[in-house]
Structure 1
Amino acid sequence: MPRGHPIVLSNGSEWPNKTATKNHFRALRDRWPRGVVIDDRHDHEDLCALLERYDEVISTGPSKIGCGIDHFETRENNSHGGVTVGFWVIRKDGTDTDFSFIDAVDGQPRNPDAEFVEACREAVYKDVSAATRDFFRRNADEGGRVICAVTGERVSAIASRPDYAVPTLRDIAWAFRENQGWVHAVPKGVVSPPADAQVAAQFVDMDAIIKFRAFHNRLAKIRIVSKSLLPSELAGTRHLTETKFLTLG
């Protein structure tokens, strides 16, 4: 029986534990020649979702995704007198950077910026869930389906999920920090990192959570989309204006 917790990425790919996830990406890396565009759809989407995980959990500086992902390659990296092979992301503006799939899977070390975004997501989870149920109650057809904001096809509650248009949750979280004067650091005592029996960072300052929920619910534009849509298929549609959004607050 495999040990450890399952790893689930935003595109729905899932493995029973970190070891299995690392083995998957190691095999993916090794089957692609150096400097060749990784153009297999499933490999590309797994790497997109892995890089999203890296940005949310690992990155303390600018996003690795940056202005958007064009494609991935494997390249040789020279470090400490040796040569290793790793993944590189090439962005839409032609810039590129490498990233560690090991670090992305491990999710360590965590950093306060990532934990704050995670706490923000936890803070509004019930609001978004309630708004989703209300959206289906008001807009569903006789079969209990609503229109996917991207495909235009009808989807059931179980086959759909809420998705942020512009601004994203991360953007809203950072805007809230700026609003509170917390650009450089979140004050101690506002957020608690994950603890035993607690899988995500959470707000512990009740005043902060009330303020963030109100701030989020004013700015958030959340639509219902099909679960089958991949991250790359959603990215270019987030500026759509003719969309029904959830009613929050």
Structure 2
Amino acid sequence: MSRGHPVVLSNGSKWPNKTVAKAYFRALRDRWGVGVVIDDPIDHENLCALLERYDEVIATGPSKVGCGIRHFETRENVSHGGLTIGFWVIRTDDSETDFSFMSAVDGQPRNPDAEFVEACREAVYERISEAKREFFRKHADGAGRLACTVTGELVSAAAARVDYIGKSLRDIAWDFRVSEGWGAAVPQGVISPPADAQVSAQFADMDAMIRFRFFHDRNARMRVVSKSALPSRLAATRNMAVETPLMFV
């Protein structure tokens, strides 16, 4: 019987606890030579999903996924006077950054930046849901289906979701913070952390929430994708042009 909570990633990969998950990614890292492109499809897929987890609960500022993922590799990092081997993500615009697989697996603690992004997501959830319904109403075929912009498969509204392209929600939230002068920290009272019977952080400052909604609507670019589309396919195509984007009403 394993101890601890299971680690489950967005692509469905899972491990019985954090110790096992860390051992998996440590072994993955050690299988690849320094500077070699990690091109095994399963390894790439699991790293994409792990980086999504990192962005959700660990990253501060702009997301690590950024504009899209081209590939991963390992590199030597200088830390506290010594050398360590770590994962690096190379994005589709040739920018690059490192990330800690240990922190990504731990997924704790949620920090104020992550709670702000969570409040932003909550603030636009209904707007995005309404935009999706309207998009299907206008563009679906006679059977109520649309083509996934990544896989091409025809999907119903129930089998589809919307996905950010260009900038992620985290990046839009960060840009909003900067525009408000909150780059260093979100002021007290802007959001409230999860409370009893409340599963996510929410805006406590209603004026700030309204400003964010307008900012989001001006800057968000979204597409309809199948719920089964793999994280790696989504991450690799975040800069693609969308002929008919979702519109906010």
TM-score (norm 1): 0.78
> 1:169 matched to which residue of 2?
169
Q: Is the 8 A contact 1:89 1:96 kept in 2?
A: yes
Distance 1:16 1:224, change over 3 A: farther
Aligned length: 247
Q: 1:31-180 residue pairs with structure 2 within 5 A?
A: 32-35=31-34, 36-60=36-60, 63-65=63-65, 69-74=69-74, 85-90=85-90, 97-180=97-180
Distance 1:248 1:21, change over 3 A: farther
Q: Helix, strand or coil for the counterpart of 1:87?
A: strand
Q: Helix, strand or coil for the counterpart of 1:155?
A: strand
Q: Is the 8 A contact 1:77 1:86 kept in 2?
A: yes
Distance 2:62 2:167 in 1: 17
Distance 2:110 2:199 in 1: 13
Distance 1:83 1:218 in 2: 44
Structure 2 unmatched ranges of 5 or more: none
Structure 1 unmatched ranges of 5 or more: none
Q: Is the 8 A contact 2:144 2:157 kept in 1?
A: yes
TM-score (norm 2): 0.78
Q: How far 1:163 moved relative to its partner? A: 0.8
Q: Helix, strand or coil for the counterpart of 2:166?
A: coil
Distance 2:6 2:122 in 1: 19
Q: Is the 8 A contact 1:5 1:16 kept in 2?
A: yes
> 2:244 matched to which residue of 1?
243
Q: Helix, strand or coil for the counterpart of 2:155?
A: strand
Deviations 1:176-225 (A, max 9, x none): 22333323321111122345654433222222223222332343232211
Amino acid at match of 2:29: R
> 1:202 matched to which residue of 2?
202
Moved more, 209-218 or 14-23: 14-23
Q: Is the 8 A contact 1:149 1:244 kept in 2?
A: no
Amino acid at match of 2:241: L
Distance 1:67 1:219, change over 3 A: closer
Identity %: 68
Higher relative contact order (CA 8 A, sep 6+): 2
What is the root-mean-square deviation in Å for CA atoms of aligned residues? 3.3
Q: How far 1:94 moved relative to its partner? A: 6.6
Distance 1:202 1:128, change over 3 A: same
Distance 1:8 1:135, change over 3 A: farther
Deviations 1:79-121 (A, max 9, x none): 5687755433345677765432111122234332232122111
Q: Helix, strand or coil for the counterpart of 1:124?
A: helix
Distance 1:11 1:75 in 2: 25
Distance 1:6 1:198 in 2: 23
